[in-house]
Amino acid sequence: MDWNEVLREIAVIQSAEGEVPVRGVQYDSRRVVSGDLFVAMRGGSADGNQFIDKAISQGAVTVVTDSPEAYEKLRQKHAGTGAALVEYGRRALAEASAAIFGHPQRHLALSAVTGTNGKTTTAFLLEAMLKSVGRSCVLIGTIETHIAGEVRESPHTTPESRDVLELFSEGAKAGATEAVMEMSSHALEQERVWGLPVDVAIFTNLTQDHLDFHGTMERYFAAKTRLFEGVGAPPPRVAVVNVDDPYGQRIAERIERSQLVRYGLDVAADFFAEEIRMRAGETRLRMRTPHGAVEVRSPLTGRVNIYNLLAASAAAWARGLTLDQIAQAAETGAQVPGRFEVVPTDTGVTVVVDYAHTDDALRNLIVLARELVKEHSGRVITLFGCGGDRDRTKRPRMGRAAGEGSDLVVLTSDNPRSEEPGAIVAEALVGLRETGTESIVEEDRAAAIEIAIRSADKGDIVLIAGKGHEKMQILRSGAVPFDDSAVAARVLRGER
């Protein structure tokens, strides 16, 4: 693609034009190869403008910068290099990437999920429903990325726009017609999803999280609402909103240019669940909609998964599936790694690994566990920790949530990062002690898992919360391999 053609798709302040062939686009100078456009942009922790010289030395033939000083220096030092000055670096990255990858976003119908809890499960369910009727999908989310059936690891919940568009391009070339994305509040606020046309937008819920980044719940909420306003694109055609959630009600009240589809349990909604029957490994319900009612059976368990099922069903309906097709797809389910993942054992103790890492998610998980052990008069044993370098105010709240519903709590470490594990534990312990629930503190997570499982008797359930699908423990010294499911399995086998 010619540099002049790229410039026509970017909102520039100044530019040096030229008939320079551009073969690719990068924002990380370490990934630049000959013929690339390098987008230098200021970020929260680093300034890409510091790496312009390195990018050019590695073969960048054109540079887009959001720094007037860097632009002037570039023009003086590298006069033969194509250059452009822009106001918003991330927007320019999205616009340039869309042009260079051939606008793959125009070839995929995009459904996007945002909220504090439930994004991953809802996205997996929706993808499974779409695939059940023969549609090929791209899925981008916290755990995995799927490209028309190929499974890859996901480094971020929502990547930078350049990487999203490359995945979309690969998917479109492989025959995909649908895309399902988790859109994090960080990505929405930072405009990593600039210019992506969302067909169906889904809101799950909003509870306290990420205040280390957003500062307040109102700012966190404002970031989420951007999905329904459109980020450099028109508002979504359809907005699927959980109106049982107070923040969801606020979003629903603001919807003007999208078709609003409400879902919920506790208030009148368009997609509503009734006659709910749950047991371990199965949920049955009757889903009522303005378009009829259908019996639904799902291998997913718990109230939170009913919400996820309703959200995915409403979105699938918006994408053209019938209620019967939705019900048939729901029956096969979509097992999401680290989301109420049962570790196999014949000991009579149920061990569950779950990603719950907020007080609301932990409380929901424990409520579900209490329902499952009720008929056997079993106990709920909960293991949890709090992440380092993250919102400190939720630590005592998580301690309180764990203590209020459990019979025994094992408090441990969970990705302490640069902080001292003991200091994190002490802050969570404040809320836990308020409940008076029996507790054990063990900072070593592997030892804590062993304590929790060895404390259980037949009929009890052990919840290992916080890390879910993650395979690393992030310490001050760096990341080390750690898998909750694998550690639990070893303990259950009697291994050390």
Angstrom distance (rounded) from CA 295 to CA 21: 57
Question: Binding residue per annotation — 118?
Answer: yes
Question: Binding residue per annotation — 121?
Answer: yes
Question: Binding residue per annotation — 195?
Answer: no
Question: Binding residue per annotation — 184?
Answer: yes
| Number of other CB atoms surrounding residue 286 within 10 Å | 14
Question: Binding residue per annotation — 67?
Answer: no
Question: Binding residue per annotation — 120?
Answer: yes
Question: Binding residue per annotation — 414?
Answer: yes
Question: Binding residue per annotation — 117?
Answer: yes
Three-state SS for the chain is CEHHHHHCCCCEEEEECCCCECCEEECCHHHCCCCEEEEECECCCCEHHHHHHHHHHCCCCEEEECCHHHHHHHHHHCCCCEEEEECCHHHHHHHHHHHHCCCHHHHCEEEEEECCCCHHHHHHHHHHHHHHCCCCEEEECCCEEEECCEEEECCCCCCCHHHHHHHHHHHHHCCCCEEEEECCHHHHHHCCCCCCCEEEEEECCCCCCCHHHHCCHHHHHHHHHHHHHCCCCCCCCEEEEECCCHHHHHHHHHCCCCEEEEEECCCCCCEEEEEEEEECCEEEEEEEECCEEEEEEECCCCHHHHHHHHHHHHHHHHCCCCHHHHHHHHHHCCCCCCCCEEECCCCCCEEEEECCCCHHHHHHHHHHHHHHHHHHCCCEEEEECCCCCCCCCHHHHHHHHHHHHCCEEEECCCCCCCCCHHHHHHHHHHHHHHHCCEEEECCCHHHHHHHHHHCCCCCCEEEEECCCCCCEEEECCEEEECCHHHHHHHHHCCCC
Q: Can you say how many angstroms the Cα of residue 314 is from the centroid of all Cα atoms in its chain?
A: 19
Question: Binding residue per annotation — 298?
Answer: no
Question: Binding residue per annotation — 364?
Answer: no
Question: Binding residue per annotation — 197?
Answer: no
Question: Binding residue per annotation — 454?
Answer: no
Question: Binding residue per annotation — 347?
Answer: no
**Contact residues for 227 (Cβ-Cβ < 8 A; gap 6+):** 112, 114, 183, 188, 198, 201, 203, 236
Angstrom distance (rounded) from CA 107 to CA 92: 21
Question: Binding residue per annotation — 119?
Answer: yes
Contact 312, 122 (CB under 8 A): yes
Question: Binding residue per annotation — 350?
Answer: no
Question: Binding residue per annotation — 192?
Answer: yes
Question: Binding residue per annotation — 81?
Answer: no
Question: Binding residue per annotation — 178?
Answer: no
Going by the annotation, the residues of the binding site for meso-2,6-diaminopimelate are 390, 414-417, 466, 470
Going by the annotation, the residues of the binding site for ATP are 115-121
Going by the annotation, the residues of the binding site are 29, 115-121, 157-158, 184, 190, 192, 390, 414-417, 466, 470
